[in-house]
Amino acid sequence: MFKRSCTLLAEIPKQEVLQWLGSIETVLFGTDGVLWNFDDPIKGSVETFNATRNKGKRCFLVTNDSSMVASDMAQKAMCLGLKVGEQEILTSAACISNYLVVKKFKKKVLVVGETGIQEELQKAGIQSVTIDQEAEERKMGQFARNLIVDSDVGAVVVGRDKSFNVSKIVVACTYLLNPKVMFLGTCMDTIYPVCEKRVTVGAAAMVAAIEKSSNRKPLIMGKPNPQMVYKLRQSGVLKPEKTLVIGDRLSSDIIFANNCGFKSLLVGSGAGSLEEAQELKMEGNEKKLMMVPDTFLPSLGHLMEYLCEDEKIKETDEGKAEKKRVDNKGNEAKAA
């Protein structure tokens, strides 16, 4: 139903939307651009998330944000009013950590990124090293020559890094000269809208710089890689035909949903737009169709009216059932 059709839910009969929502057991929510923008909740998102949970649906936050561990993100979410626990949050940093554990990785990891990656690795018993040196441009050659390479480093992990610099590129590329050293990236998210006509950059800026300089192709672990929900799929929690991804980014959230066989809902409150999705649909190219969502709403808050409508129908049905019981009792009394 609605598969890769970019259906505008506001333009179809409510009963169809309710039928579609009724088939869903698990909802995977994006964070930035869906639930909040930086530290501010998006209008209606908190109420809608909590209402979805109250409907008995399993709810998870699935994010490419590697700046914090799941416990810290849960704390942030709860401070905004979301009813969510640490065990219901999946991050790209945790995904990388889990991947290395499954691989029985025993070496050190060079981290170019925020503390969330280091902390997730530490939780898994994996030692990490970082780059705290910065060479002046005119002394870059000397910096590279004097660089001490730790032979026990077996992987380079790159994520969004607020203090990214040329020195970090040099060090990462030096390690990646060894083909046995793994190259992992958190995601390829490009920009994050800050406000109208203002953006900040995502992990793609850092990953791409090291990719081009090292001539090595990274394995991207975050969305759209199905590895993000590996544990949930292994445990049998997720049934593809009954799972919905709600996201704002076509190149990660929507491809992720299509890669996994999940249903998808694009919201227009973040990086992606309805116009872009419709253009991709019109082109008809199979690769680009992977970025076309099943459905669209301007924001998560717009889903609330359908959740409320479902409650009204339930109350009406219960009222009718109660009236029928009363009528039956009355008829039985008359017959007696």
Which DSSP string corresponds to 54-93? HTT-EEEEEE---SS-HHHHHHHHHHTT----GGGEEEHH
150 is in an annotated binding site: no
Residue 98 near residue 116, CB atoms below 8 Å: no
H-helix segments, the chain? 14-22, 45-54, 70-79, 92-102, 115-123, 140-145, 166-176, 204-214, 230-235, 255-260, 274-283, 286-289, 304-335
Tokens (6 digits) for 212: 């081009």
Beta bridge partners of 244: 27, 263
32 is in an annotated binding site: yes
DSSP-derived 3-state class of residue 157 = strand
* Distance, CA of 218 to CA of 208 (rounded, Å): 9
Which of these, 252, 200, 237, lies nearest to 63 by C-alpha position? 252
Identify whether 32 is a catalytic site residue: yes
Instruction: Tell me the C-alpha distance between 159 and 202, whole Å.
Output: 8
Residues in the chain: 336
Give CA angle at 153 (151, 157), nearest 5°.
150
Catalytic one of 32, 65, 161, 294:
32
**248 labelled ligand-binding:** yes
Sign of the dihedral defined by the CA atoms of residues 190, 187, 107, 73, in that order: positive
At CA 249, angle to CA 243 and CA 250, rounded to 5? Answer: 80
**Residue 10 to residues 232, 291, 298, 308, Cα–Cα distance (Å):** 31, 21, 9, 15
Catalogue the active-site residues. Answer: 32
What are the binding residues?
Answer: 32, 223, 248
What are the binding residues for Mg(2+)?
Answer: 32, 248
What are the binding residues for substrate?
Answer: 223
